[in-house]
Amino acid sequence: MEQGLEVALTDLQSSWNNVRHHTEEISSDRLLVRRGQAFNITLYFRKRGFQPGLDNIIFVAETGDSVYLDSEPQRQEYVVNDYGFIYQGNKNWIRPCPWNYGQFEENIIDICLELLDKSLNFQIDPATDCALRGSPVYISRVVCAMINSNDDNGVLNGNWSESYLDGINPAEWTGSVAILKQWHATGCQPVRYGQCWVFAAIMCTVMRCLGIPTRVITNFDSGHDTDGNLIIDEYYDSTGRILENKKKDTVWNFHVWNECWMARKDLPPGYGGWQVLDATPQETSNGLYCCGPASVRAIKEGEVDLNYDTAFAFSMVNADCMSWLVYGGKEQKIHRDTNTVGNFISTKSIQSDERDDITENYKYIEGSPQERLVFMRALQKLKARRSEGPHKADSQHSTAVPLNGDSPRSLHMPSLRPSDIVQVSLKFQLLDPPNMGQDIRFVLLALNMSLQFKDLKVNLSAQSLLHDGSPLPPFWQDTAFITLSSEEAKTHSCRIPYSQYSQYLSTDKLIRISALGEEKNSPEKILVDKIITLAYPGIMINVLGAAIVNQPLSIQVLFSNPLSEHVADCVLTVEGSGLFKKQQRVLIGVLKPQHRASITLETVPFKSGQRQIQANLRSNKFKDIKGYRNVYVDLRL
């Protein structure tokens, strides 16, 4: 009787396979393959060889293509690219923040697998958890919950308090690798601290490392609807100052989440593709702080009853804003705005440093019949499954004055009749770029669009904002008395000295200037506001000579103190996957007023191809002066 085959050795051909599966940067001696793609192994047998026709070998491998992107440029960008940009600022000043995702750096794959094993799902039922890990829907929810630490020993502690003495200010981070390695090195203790862009960046690293196409999305003027009625309630006092919201409904200046590409066999046909996942701990989903995956197409079509958390995601991009005037202990509904929430939804372009505006993926054009139809569909679906909150959303939609940039809106609209027409226009205009350390100069433009004489009193104020929309107390106020003849325009000049605003700034460097105008002997009020993001001069990075693998490379970093005062505790951090083995920290100490400085760092690149250097300068006066430089590293001379 012929003896059966006995395997003596299995050669997984890790090096050869990993190159073809684009995982060679992770390892060359461990087999790391992507599902849906062929790979080779070699079997060696004892005593005799394989005989075709006589011997049968059955090899069972369960794979799938539920995360397959058929575009090679998209695969390169959303799976392989290990650096990118996260967009911050405000809708009138969008700033790219460079980020080192570093998904192929040493030990990151093991840290990502450790993250899965530390999840509550694995701790409660390891067998079921492992059996479900082939599902991108399941795995994305697990990872989403593990990026924040609200329910478990997740990667990051969130902090929006402006007090970071026992950790790192979220604005200082420039990459994911240092955070993930710190979490691992401390026995999986949450790293302090993160905010939305840091949560999203870490999730991007983990998901790309696990082979799921992922990108980072920024939504400007992002709604946070806490009671699920698709209405963001904002409260103002008689000076136009925005008040802290008791319900915690807010419009975030910007908010950052992820999109992951996957099939959605759990949903009706047509809802696969890009899915929203938001690791920032805002609201719970099935008892855990995670959000998604919510189909982007379902969000656009108002199908808010589809899993997971689609209603919350819809409100982030397409909720309406309701303004309330607070006086004498009472609240009066005075204005409904349908256009404020969800602007310039942005992500990095494919294989380019440019910004892609993908707003049309999330919603139809604001104010169009389709957009309003979708909003009403979403609202009816929510009404069908739950009771309304204390401030009920009217089923009859009311038209509001469009808001473009800092256009005015009428607050005297209790009935919201079409005949209500704003007869006076107020608008802010900056006279200089809003640079940190300089006075802020601007004018208030007043235009009488009627044929009647107008006598106005205008209260002006300025207050700092956190990027999540939370207001800080006003630090500047002014009153203007403006008389306008028929169709006359006038300006009122304003200046806020640096010495006045510097001590009140938050890390986000956001200032909201507002004006509330009222006409003499008339109940009409006009509110206008403008959000200003103060800018720093960026860090300049020069690469001195050709970048070649395993050859020394000099990198010059030029930076300056933009302020007219001494700054202390200056620290420069520099990193870049494939260029530096770990984040470089250089203690600078004190920088004199307006002082320019430079340092030269030496490194040895260890990976070829397109790379990026990211840098950040912090001090006791500022936290996030940033810069970047793209570098192409050759294999040989």
Q: Would you list which residues are annotated within the binding site for Ca(2+)? A: 318, 320, 366, 371
Catalytic residue check, 196: yes
DSSP secondary structure, 373-433, as one string:
HHHHHHHHHHHHHS---SSPPPSS--------TT--EES--SS--TT----EEEEEEESS-
Catalytic residue check, 337: no
Catalytic residue among 225, 249, 278, 309: 278
Is 277 in contact with 264 (CB distance < 8 Å)? no
The closest alpha carbon to 226, from 249, 259, 192, belongs to 249
Q: Which helix (H) or strand (E) element contains residue 343?
A: strand 343-348
Q: Distance between CA 17 and CA 95 in Å, rounded?
A: 40
Binding site residue list: 318, 320, 366, 371
Residue showing tokens 């994911």: 176
Q: Distance between CA 329 and CA 345 in Å, rounded?
A: 38
Write out 36-94 in H/E/C secondary structure.
Answer: CCCCCCEEEECCCCCCCCCCCCCCCCCCCCCCCCCCHHHHHHHHHCCEEEEEEEECCEE
Residues sharing a CB contact under 8 Å with residue 195, sequence separation 6 or more, in sequence order:
158, 159, 160, 170, 280, 467, 468
Catalytic residue check, 278: yes
Is 599 in contact with 586 (CB distance < 8 Å)? yes
Catalytic residue among 97, 112, 144, 196: 196
Catalytic residue among 255, 335, 467, 492: 255
Residue 141 has phi, psi (to 5 degrees) of -70, -40
Q: Distance between CA 347 and CA 353 in Å, rounded?
A: 10
By CB neighbour count within 10 A (0-12 exposed, 13-18 middle, 19+ buried), where does 487 fall? exposed
Q: Distance between CA 223 and CA 211 in Å, rounded?
A: 30
Active-site residues, by number, are: 196, 255, 278
